[in-house]
Amino acid sequence: MKLMGLPSSWLELGALGLLAAEGMALTTAVLRGRLVRELEVLWKVFLISTYLLLGSAFLEVAEEALRSAAALSWVGFVPFALTAALAYKWWTVEK
């Protein structure tokens, strides 16, 4: 439970949740015959999730380096979370 207080855990959780949701959407698209449209979204979600996981790795290193001031690692969380959310909204939400 202590790990869920770290910003790197929140980025990992977001990436895994995003990939799980995309997996369910991909399964639904296959069953409904809309695979091509979903594959266009899949690679974008993959890039965003990879970005979140790399950000998480960066923050884990920062948390280890700032062990005495772990609250400072939340400063690094904000840019990763905001840019990933904006990229997801810009790339995947239908216009």
Cα–Cα distance for residue pair 13/9, rounded to 1 Å: 6
- CA proximity to 14, closest of 53, 46, 40, 41: 53
Record the pTM: 0.77
Cα–Cα distance for residue pair 63/40, rounded to 1 Å: 35
Question: What is the per-residue pLDDT across 11-37, written as a single tens digit (0 to 9) for each?
Answer: 888 899 999 999 999 999 989 888 888
Query: pLDDT value at position 94?
Result: 63
Query: pLDDT value at position 50?
Result: 92
